[in-house]
Amino acid sequence: MEAIAPRQSDILKAARETGQVMVDDLAQAYQVTPQTIRKDINDLCQRGLLQRIHGGAVISTSVTNFAYEARRRLAHEEKRLIGVAAAQLIPDDCSILINIGTTTEQVAVALRGKKDLLVITNNTHVISILTGHPQIEIIVAGGVVRQSDGGIVGEAAVDFIQQFKVDYAIVGTSGIDPDGSLLDYDYREVKVAKAIMDNARTTILVADSMKLERSAPVRIGHLSDLDYVVTDHPLPPSLQGICDEANVQVVVAHTS
């Protein structure tokens, strides 16, 4: 295999650091045409190092997730709008389980105006987001704190969550398979996510459309297990068909 050209090596490094690279930004940075950058990206994709997304590329991997800060920056505005749309489904005076994830954190941000909420979470960032809002009571799951992203995982967290039966669960996913499977990377996190889904009367998945272009090795569940999917773009017909058959409501958070 030929050595990677210097510009392509820089593009790959940028993708590893930030989670994604965009054609227009790279063309401006290197003062070349978008077509030249697309060729670079196509070469890296053919090597299996990058994976194309709309307007750019992400690191190609189905085994390890991006770093937390990179995930937080990816599709940030889309996630914010998804958070707002999901929060609109949740009334005052109810109980909620909120899972690990940068999109679930945006739901927590949008919930800060609600009243008389009980929030149970295994996400330390959600704790920080909701602390200082007296109308929201926070209960924290016990367990091992994952240093990479502040998620609380392990059997202790699962056992803790199984004590509850809440009105709503807010969950995320790292990837959505074409067959409708919801996928993630850490089997310990998946165990907690399953417990959260099993112990809620209504389950809301929050996932931006990039998740349709990614894969991961551990199965959380299936689209048909949900009550709502909140995303930023209409689902492909095959996945929309799965949701229609299972009476899962799809909410599209408009980004313009």
pLDDT of residue 2: 60
Q: Which residues lie closer than 8 Å to 177 by C-beta, 6 or more apart?
A: 183, 215
Between strands 136-140 and 94-98, the pairing is unpaired
Place of tokens 């950058």: 37
pLDDT of residue 127: 95
* Coil vs helix vs strand at 227: coil
From the list 197, 248, 230, the residue with the least C-alpha distance to 84 is 230
Question: Which residue ranges form the domains of the chain, and what is each CATH number?
Answer: 6-60 (1.10.10.10), 70-252 (3.40.50.1360)
- What does the pLDDT profile of the chain (256 residues) look like in tens digits? 566 788 998 998 888 777 788 999 999 999 999 999 999 999 888 877 787 887 888 876 554 455 556 666 667 889 999 999 999 999 999 999 999 999 999 999 999 999 999 999 999 999 999 999 999 999 999 988 988 788 999 999 999 999 999 999 999 998 999 999 999 988 888 999 999 999 999 999 999 988 887 778 899 999 999 999 999 999 999 999 999 999 999 999 976 5
Between strands 181-184 and 175-176, the pairing is antiparallel
What is the reported pTM?
A: 0.77
Could you list the beta-strand ranges (E) of the chain. 20-22, 50-53, 56-59, 94-98, 117-121, 136-140, 144-146, 151-153, 166-171, 175-176, 181-184, 200-206, 218-222, 228-231, 249-252
pLDDT of residue 68: 58
Query: What's the half-sphere exposure (Cβ side, CA atoms, 13 Å) at 105?
Result: 20
pLDDT of residue 88: 97
